[in-house]
Amino acid sequence: MAEVIIEVKNAVKTYGEGEALTYALRKVSMEVYEHEFLVILGGSGSGKSTLLNMIGGMDRLNEGEIFVNGQDITKFNNSQLTLYRRNDVGFVYQFFNLLNEVTVLQNVMLAPGSRDKKKAMKLLRSVQLNGKENKFPRQLSGGQQQRVAIARALNKPSNILLCDEPTGALDDASGKAVLKLLEELHGQGKTIVLVTHTKEIAQMADRIITMKNARVVSTVVNEHKVSAEEVEW
């Protein structure tokens, strides 16, 4: 049995206060196993991004704990959390979040500890972007920009990739290329947590956690796993 590498326990997260108080997570508990492909599925506003952001150390919970590699990240101080985000989790966003003022190669080498040029070039080759390293993000298609973002997320010691609607801003063909890349990375041993509102994409997962109204409403082993090639949405 695979090891649990991420464990979320009774996570509560609210935004705003008074009239504007919103519960984004209401006592959410879940876990992620090492090397699995996990999908978090749910409609808009169900709390998926909030859950992923909390696992990624982007913000803090009101209540609850999140263990990653055995350490409770909710106990981290701000500098520990910065190091955690830099080293321990790769994050891929719907809208890429690249720096537009610097080249593709520089985007992949931005973080301290990721400045090995040979490694960055190798990662760019692995996402089929050889020859693009000196381009700027705006000179690339959306699908290519997302692959830069994936190369950046891979340029750290972590084996965990957190992906928030990574195909959400892409046309079907580019989206499929991104899913194939994630499938390949999973095959190489990465742990993938993918957030989506698209049921068809969820069929790529080993397990599917469904969220609704800030809660996890089901967790199932996916008996009908399909390849990225077969996914249609």
Ligand X SMILES: Nc1ncnc2c1ncn2[C@@H]1O[C@H](COP(=O)(O)OP(=O)(O)O)[C@@H](O)[C@H]1O
> Two tokens at 22?
């919103």
According to CB under 6 A, which residues from 46 to 85 bind ligand X?
46-50
Which DSSP string do the residues of 143-174 spell out, in sequence order?
HHHHHHHHHHHHSSS--EEEEESTTTTS-HHH
Helices vs. strands in the chain: H and E counts, helices first: 7, 10
Total chain residues near ligand X (CB under 6 A): 12
H-only helix segments in 62-171: 78-87, 104-108, 117-126, 142-154
CA angle 17, 19, 21 (to 5 degrees): 40
* 95 contact, one of Mg ion, ligand X, none, CB 5-8 Å limit per kind: none
145 scored as a contact of Mg ion (CB under 5 A): no
Of 41-49, 68-76, 83-91, 100-108, which segment contacts ligand X by CB under 6 A? 41-49
Of 43-51, 89-97, 147-155, 171-179, which segment contacts ligand X by CB under 6 A? 43-51
45 scored as a contact of ligand X (CB under 6 A): yes
Minimum distance from CB of 162 to ligand X (Å)?
13
Which residues contact residue 6 at a Cβ distance below 8 angstroms, ignoring those fewer than 6 apart?
Answer: 31, 32, 55, 66, 67, 68, 160, 191, 193
Q: Which is nearer to Mg ion, 76 or 96 (CB)?
A: 96
49 scored as a contact of Mg ion (CB under 5 A): yes
Of 45-53, 118-126, 179-187, 213-221, which segment contacts Mg ion by CB under 5 A? 45-53
Q: Which is nearer to ligand X, 25 or 108 (CB)?
A: 25
Q: Are strands 37-42 and 191-196 parallel, antiparallel or unpaired?
A: parallel
42 scored as a contact of ligand X (CB under 6 A): yes
State CA 129 to chain mean position distance. 20
* 64 contact, one of Mg ion, ligand X, none, CB 5-8 Å limit per kind: none
CB 95 within 8 A of CB 169: yes
91 scored as a contact of ligand X (CB under 6 A): no
**What residue ranges bind ligand X (CB under 6 A)?**
15-16, 22, 24, 42, 44-50
